[in-house]
Structure 1
């Protein structure tokens, strides 16, 4: 169930049917990361200008801002799941519908979640992911523990939120959450795959679209397994 769903999602992300959506989700993800990096570096520059480390050697302050900006690129790696959540919330219905029409043409499509509701859901996910990943970032100086904490936290978060967003097109959110809990082992393993991809540079930029496609397939398989045999 897990590997066929993952394979189908990878195939679909790179398919001609989703190519346009792929470039839009990728562009939006890079835009959010770029805006966040720019805002934080400007804030740092303002702080250093207002409270310079060395009034006599301005080059020291410039170097500090540069090094801090470079360090922020590493820090942004830890909050990629946050931007992923926002992007997924924005493109949820379009991506899920494309997957359903392509790979499940005989099944009725899911009911679209309103844009406002899906973005609000994405913002809730993003806020939770931000808190969890900031906590993991605080462990950055503890070898081994930091990566494990980052991986475990995001395996849970990504599995929970992506599955419930996909399942929520076919059932009330409370029922989607109950279905996730009933299949927590399988869905958590799916989250571990997503969390593992987050650790791979460049590939991690595919998470929003891949995560939606992956969980649409997984939900379809789980739902079919629950149906009584005829």
Structure 2
């Protein structure tokens, strides 16, 4: 497993992958920026509306006090936007990954598994559906874990474990669906649930590193391509006919 992670890391900066890296990082930054601006505008509107409502209820004598409170809330909202952007990075990278899944997988298969039949590109709709589903589940987990953040860091532990499960599941199934039907890919993931979850912990650790986590789609997909190949084991039907004939001639000799 660690060998697969090292291979994924080393290939991320290779010339063929560099173009995908910059495009995925750029898209992730755009999504983070849009999310941060939208969240900041919403929180600012909420603070202003709340101040107006409170002043109407309490009277003009509390205007100065409410102004100070609104200012404090605005500052807290700014920190919340930054914190939220970091915590929601798994959701953002899940969407980005769905756009580059096949490009990354093809480079890994071509470099490390040239003798095997390459996978079939996923339909765009299917890949996007998987990415959005994982992103939605990640946001749901984030909202559930948020109240526990201040309880000895329990929220962070909950979010980390959940992110490992969600990201491991998504990237493994995307890698597997290049060779199997969606139902078969999900069944294989369930049969190897412990291994996939452990691999997901490595991806969750990667996505928790600020700035570096922008490259999660490349690392996660490349890593799970290797994991799928290893869990699939020797599959003669994936070997090119020319290689099978050569192997057969050696056996006869």
TM-score, L = length of structure 2? 0.83
In the alignment, is the contact (CA less than 8 A) between 2:44 and 2:77 conserved in 1? no
> Gaps spanning 5+ residues in structure 2: where?
55-61, 238-247, 249-253
Deviations 1:70-106 (A, max 9, x none): 2221122221111011011111112212222222222
1:110 matched residue in structure 2: 119
1:13 matched residue in structure 2: 12
- How far residue 156 of structure 1 moved from its aligned partner, in angstroms, is 1.0
2:39 matched residue in structure 1: 40
Q: Which moves more between the two structures, 53-62 or 70-79?
A: 53-62
In the TM superposition, 1:81-92 aligns within 5 A as 81-92=90-101
Q: Distance in 2 between matches of 1:164 and 1:193?
A: 16
Q: Distance in 2 between matches of 1:92 and 1:62?
A: 44
TM-score, L = length of structure 1? 0.91
In the TM superposition, 1:177-192 aligns within 5 A as 177-192=186-201
Q: Which has the higher helix share?
A: 2
2:140 matched residue in structure 1: 131
Q: 1:59 to 1:141 in 2, by over 3 A?
A: closer
In the TM superposition, 1:29-108 aligns within 5 A as 29-52=28-51, 55-56=63-64, 58=67, 61-108=70-117
Residue 185 of structure 2 is aligned to residue 176 of structure 1: yes
Q: Which moves more between the two structures, 103-112 or 82-91?
A: 103-112
Aligned residues: 228
Deviations 1:186-211 (A, max 9, x none): 21110011111222222222211100
1:224 matched residue in structure 2: 233
In the alignment, is the contact (CA less than 8 A) between 1:88 and 1:208 conserved in 2? yes
Q: Which moves more between the two structures, 29-38 or 71-80?
A: 71-80
Greater Rg over alpha carbons, structure? 2
Q: Distance in 2 between matches of 1:132 and 1:50?
A: 28
The root-mean-square deviation of aligned C-alpha atoms, in Å, is 2.1
2:240 matched residue in structure 1: none
In the alignment, is the contact (CA less than 8 A) between 1:99 and 1:213 conserved in 2? yes
Which residue of 207, 212, 217 corresponds with 2:216? 207
Q: 1:226 to 1:108 in 2, by over 3 A?
A: closer
> Gaps spanning 5+ residues in structure 1: where?
none
Q: Which moves more between the two structures, 166-175 or 56-65?
A: 56-65
Q: Which moves more between the two structures, 145-154 or 63-72?
A: 63-72
In the alignment, is the contact (CA less than 8 A) between 1:82 and 1:127 conserved in 2? yes
Q: 1:227 to 1:150 in 2, by over 3 A?
A: farther
